[in-house]
Amino acid sequence: MSLLVVGSVALDSVETPFGKADGVIGGSATFFSASASVQTKVQVVGVVGDDYPMDQLKPLEKRGVDFAGVERAKGTSFRWRGRYRHDLNVAETLETHLGVFSHFSPKIPPQFRNAPFVFLGNIDPRLQLDVLTQVQKPKLVACDTMNFWIESRRADLVKLLGHVDAITLNDGEARQLTDCANLVKAAQWIMSKGPKLVIIKKGEHGAFMFTSGSVFFAPAFPLEDVFDPTGAGDSFAGGFMGYLARTGDLSEASLRRAVIYGSAMGSFAVEKFSIARLLEVDAKQLAERAAELHKLVAFEQEIA
Amino acid sequence: MSLLVVGSVALDSVETPFGKADGVIGGSATFFSASASVQTKVQVVGVVGDDYPMDQLKPLEKRGVDFAGVERAKGTSFRWRGRYRHDLNVAETLETHLGVFSHFSPKIPPQFRNAPFVFLGNIDPRLQLDVLTQVQKPKLVACDTMNFWIESRRADLVKLLGHVDAITLNDGEARQLTDCANLVKAAQWIMSKGPKLVIIKKGEHGAFMFTSGSVFFAPAFPLEDVFDPTGAGDSFAGGFMGYLARTGDLSEASLRRAVIYGSAMGSFAVEKFSIARLLEVDAKQLAERAAELHKLVAFEQEIA
């Protein structure tokens, strides 16, 4: 089943303790689609400037990512420049140039409007709400967000929560949104506003999935070398939504596996700059990493 | 099988966002034995001053904790005063009075010397080494440590590593000891110095157990209310060692369950001040929490 993502298609310049990358492809929709396309076809809606190296998206097109919804506007593409120091959990933003992204108004092409799975990447919640008026009864809608929108567009974001089935956000964002330091309480607060499914990502510390009746925890894969954390969260979301779109199964057992596939894709993303590692991953490697995650937490209960 | 612990028996004054406790019983050996005694008999070696409220240890004696190795010395008991603010992962030490603990020289009573399981709580590594000269070929020796000893007694600590089977320490301590930011590499460094088993505790983010051929991850139980984190690490160690002493089984499957029992006991410890919650826990409650941890991470792999 097809999977629609709306988000940023950007150019990143990143510095980590292990190297530098300058003007490489990035953005939430790019990482998401690079990740999800390991499992399913992806349709992207976004905007780039006339300076964007479209040829670098070719490998994704080959994998079944459809960029027909990416508008080419006059002007410069969204650029982000950031740095990670010793603590790879914290990105330091050095520069943000919104460029054509500052006037982004998502237009969903007619052939994308009946996508059963929709992911609203981290953009203005007013635009995320607007996307929902353009699509036809998806089977599952999930959204992401960030500190900037929680601060500047709180009312719109809370309104959005009433219209999505699921949300992915990180622990800091969950605390900021809900004013609850405790993540169990934060998830309950968010669920009370609408979403049946709350996924709280904790980077190297794994991720929780909360539903009204259950809690699931997926560990992060313990890598020896984390090279560049950029895009890990969007890659997680891509693995999660990709699994659901591939199987069409929304049972608890399937949702749990989807979170594991999200964790696995997040762990691949950080092994190289940009989407380089994601482009190498195939279904077999993904299944192998999911099996490693299974081994990582497996234990047999004591017989009473 | 009996379990020997050597460590501090102290008085804590703690302030958390949820309340205050003044001069309550604490210390590494106290938390450890309160936790381990849910599963097995415990023998304690330590020292207290003549001001220590020995009657408050009575409930532990009733549970099978033997304090015959706790010396009563002239002077004041070890007192710690600390505070936790919003971030319950970080203890702020306000005062430390070592008192009689500053001259502590552990003397293992003859009847304790053949304990098959030995836990060297967080004391001077020179004293931990000295304890090992007094005991007879235990089946398993584990140690704990802290930043203070890593800084001031590095050589002794590294020497100690050559004489223990297992070590429990937190993520910050593992990084400080090994100068590796990455925990997988940190664990490998520690194993290269001797221990076959390295347990890295990450507080609310769970715990890793590394062996030469495997990695296991145990989540922390997602509590709605964390009341006081003091003693969580020692309670974890008590649950872990208590399980091993109860079963005598050192297989990988058993070690994994032991880590889960450690995580479960750590989660109980933080629900009330001092050892109050630990004293309420029985074998049934412990098994139930272990079952909850099983559900928390359980997922079925996809059929290929």
Q: What is the dihedral of CA A169, A173, A177, A181, to 10 degrees?
A: 110
Q: What is the mean pLDDT of residues B10-33?
A: 96
- Indicate the helix (H) or strand (E) that contains A188: helix A183-192
Question: At CB < 8 Å, which residues of chain B contact A?
Answer: 86, 88, 181-185, 202, 205-206, 208, 214-219, 222-226, 253, 256-257, 259-260, 287, 290-291, 294-302, 304
C-alpha to C-alpha distance for B77 and B100, rounded to whole angstroms: 6
ipTM over 0.90: yes
Average pLDDT of chain B to the nearest whole number: 96
B228-239: average pLDDT: 97
Please report, as a single letter, which amino acid is at residue B210: F
Outline where B135-231 has alpha helix (H): 147-152, 154-161, 171-178, 183-192
Q: Which chain B residues contact residue A299 at CB under 8 A?
A: 216, 218, 253, 256-257, 259-260, 294
CB-CB: which of B183, B218, B222 is closest to A222?
B183
Judged by CB atoms closer than 8 Å, whether chains meet at A302 and B287 is answered as yes
Nearest to A264 by CA among A246, A241, A240, A244: A240
Closest alpha carbon to B231 in B26, B43, B61, B11? B26
**Confidence at B265, pLDDT banded by 50, 70, 90:** very high
| Contact criterion met (CB < 8 Å) for A297 and B218 | yes
Handedness of CA A245, A247, A250, A254 (dihedral sign): negative
CA distance B255 to B190: 18
Among B57, B52, B58, smallest CA distance to B76 is for: B52
Give pLDDT, residue B230. 95
B205:A208 CB<8 A: no
Residue B43 has pLDDT above 90, yes or no: yes
Mean per-residue pLDDT pooled into runs of 10, chain A (304 residues): 96 94 97 98 98 97 98 97 86 94 96 98 97 97 96 98 98 96 96 98 97 97 93 98 98 98 98 97 98 97 82
* CA-atom Rg of chain A in angstroms: 18
pLDDT for position B304: 67
Across the beta sheet with A10-16, the strand order is: A19-26, A10-16, A79-84, A91-97
pLDDT of residue B97: 96
For helices A154-161 and A125-134, give the axis angle rounded to 10 degrees: 30
